[in-house]
Amino acid sequence: MSLTTPVSLAQTVDNLLVDGLPLRFTAYDGSAAGPQDSPFHLHLATERGLSYLLTAPGDLGMARAYVSGDLEVRGVSPGDPYPVMQLLLNHLRFRKPSVTEAATILRNIGISTLVPPPPPASEHLPRWRRIVEGLRHSQARDAEVIAHHYDVSNRFYEMVLGPSMTYTCAVHADDDVTLEEAQWAKYELVAQKLALRPGMRLLDVGCGWGGMVRHAAREHGVRALGVTLSAAQAEWAQAKIKEEGLDDLVEVRHLDYRDVAESGFDAVSSIGLTEHIGVANYPSYFSFLRSRLRPGGRLLNHCITRPHNRPTSTGQFIDRYVFPDGELTGSGTIVTAAQDAGLEVQHTENLRTHYARTLAGWSANLAEHWDECVAEAGIEIARVWGLYMAGSRLAFERDEIELHQVLATRNHDDGDSEFPRRPDWAA
């Protein structure tokens, strides 16, 4: 069908796709296109949704329309839109319309649709962004963006993450382990790499709800200090430490890692913090962590990475809704920064496929507890999480992002690393 004559919204979309619609699509003008027997159905419910798509192209426009409820996804749980996102990612390819076609489309939809609507309330744009770039990753701004993501609701996180309250990649030994077992295995892998033993001192920066420090104390008799910028996380962790009777060994503080005064730790773990600090701050970050270690101590850095080391934007959706100011880079950049800070890198490991499985578990939890999560955090936040976790799972599966653990030592002045010739953990 030619686009030089008026056509419906659904037919317009279908015509602009190289391979046609892979699912059923309907729009607020009553139009429909795509296979009627598809198990999945996209519905553009409002003109505002169309304006979101047209005025913020790419992932931001789609996210705004979905989060606001103007773009509905039917046939899947809103807590886990993974099957639809996978289908669209594999089959949705738009062609560029001709000038005549573009003019006809604009006449059909009306010029008012090109006026950007206000973004959904859950969209975050930190103050001074891109106006005073030097304020990025200041302690005040980091506290602001961390609160945006982590201070949603501890109850919300309990339902999504499960009893471990662990918001980092788990380690799945096989296909049959539960999410809880896999998270325990991750903490134990970190503990083994750090060679934790009774009486040692551990610093865990960006400690979240205290999973690593509690594991280190409970399983290995370690004295552990955890710090987090999230007040909600610190409050939950402190209560859990007391409940488990670990308060003689473990402390969690609501504190920026840069304000930790103690030093001489036998080990430092950083599990999911590096994504927040900014690539430009890697030299000071690794130098500070090295300064907290005793000679012979070990550092384990666990973070999301890219499969390359080229500067790459995180994408508008992630930046506005999920991790404001977050930055990712390749493991090579992380290894280089650690080495340049005077650390000897002993081992690296990629857990990419493990993170895809972890996200599948979290998505299943969100889907199972959808109504409760909406009641706790609001419909927009719940939709953001469903979209973000499904999209991240796809990105890990497609090797668009990875997860690396980098193990390093602060050596003695004579070069002694206190590191065995061959490590004894399974890697």
**What pLDDT, on the 0 to 100 scale, is given for residue 352?**
98
Is residue 368 a contact partner of residue 265, using CB atoms and an 8 Å limit?
Answer: no
Ordered alpha helix ranges (H), 129-257: 139-150, 154-161, 179-193, 211-220, 231-243
Residue 147 reports pLDDT greater than 60: no
Angle, helices 47-55/59-67, rounded to nearest 10 degrees: 160
Q: How far is CA 301 from CA 352, 375, 419, in A?
A: 15, 36, 17
pLDDT at 143 over 80: no
Superfamily of domain 139-409: Vaccinia Virus protein VP39 (3.40.50.150)
Would the pLDDT of 6 be above 80? no
pLDDT band for position 107 (cuts 50, 70, 90): confident
Let me know the angle formed at the C-alpha of 213 by 212 and 215, rounded to the nearest 5 degrees: 65
Mean pLDDT value of segment 254-262: 97
DSSP label at residue 330: B
> Is 32's pLDDT higher than 80?
yes
Closest CA relative to residue 406, chosen from 344, 355, 352, 357: 344
Which of the pair, 35 or 150, is modelled with greater confidence? 35
The fraction of the chain above a pLDDT of 90, given in percent, is: 79
Better-scored residue on pLDDT, 104 or 303: 303
Q: Given this model, what pLDDT does residue 111 score? A: 85
The average confidence (pLDDT) of the chain is 91
Write down the pLDDT at residue 136: 57
Least confident window among 138-147, 220-229, 296-305: 138-147
Nearest to 302 by CA among 406, 412, 178: 406
User: Once rounded to an integer, what is the mean pLDDT over residues 222-227?
Assistant: 98
Position 100 confidence tier, pLDDT thresholds 50, 70, 90: confident
Backbone angles phi, psi at 201, to 5 degrees: -115, 130
Task: Quick: pLDDT tens for 372-427.
Answer: 999 999 999 999 999 999 999 999 999 999 999 999 999 999 999 999 998 877 54
Residue 2, pLDDT above cutoff 60? no
Q: In this structure, are residues 218 and 208 in contact, taking their beta carbons and an 8 Å threshold?
A: no
Mean pLDDT of 149-154: 69
Q: Is the pLDDT at 230 greater than 80, yes or no?
A: yes
> Tokens representing 338?
């650690």
CB contact burial 321-349 (16+ within 10 A = b; e otherwise): bbbbbbbbbbbebbbbbbeebebebbebb
Distance CA 422, CA 235 (A): 40
Q: Which residues contact 40 (CB under 8 A, 6 or more apart)?
A: 23, 24, 73, 74, 75, 76, 83, 84, 87
- The whole-number pLDDT of residue 127 equals 46
User: What is the C-alpha separation between 67 and 87, in angstroms, rounded?
Assistant: 19
This prediction has a pTM of: 0.92
Chain-centroid distance of CA 184 in Å reads 20
| Cβ neighbours of residue 256 closer than 8 Å, sequence gap 6 or more | 139, 142, 143, 227, 229
Domain 9-114 has CATH 3.40.50: no
Q: How far apart are CA 182 and CA 248, in angstroms?
A: 27
Which tens digits make up the pLDDT trace of 52-92?
Answer: 999 997 789 999 999 999 999 999 999 999 999 999 999 98
Pairing mode, strands 41-44 and 265-271: unpaired
Whole-angstrom CA distances from 121 to 118, 212, 341, 380 are 9, 34, 41, 8
CB 156 within 8 Å of CB 373: yes
pLDDT confidence of 134, banded at 50, 70, 90? very low
Structure tokens at 101: 């076609």
Tally: H helices and E strands in the chain: 17, 11
pLDDT in tens, 231-244: 999 999 999 999 99
The pLDDT value recorded for residue 138 is 62
Same CATH topology for 9-114 and 139-409: the answer is no
CB 52 within 8 A of CB 64: yes
- Sign of the alpha-carbon dihedral angle for 326, 235, 121, 134: negative
Under the banding of pLDDT at 50, 70 and 90, the label for residue 106 is confident
Query: Domain segments of the chain: what residues?
Result: 9-114, 139-409
Q: Which of 388, 389, 401 is nearest to 353 (CA)?
A: 401
Mean pLDDT on 106-132: 77
pLDDT digits (tens, 9 = 90+) for 308-362: 999 998 888 988 888 888 899 999 999 999 999 999 999 999 999 999 999 999 9
What CA–CA distance (Å, rounded) separates 11 from 14? 5
pLDDT at 131: 44
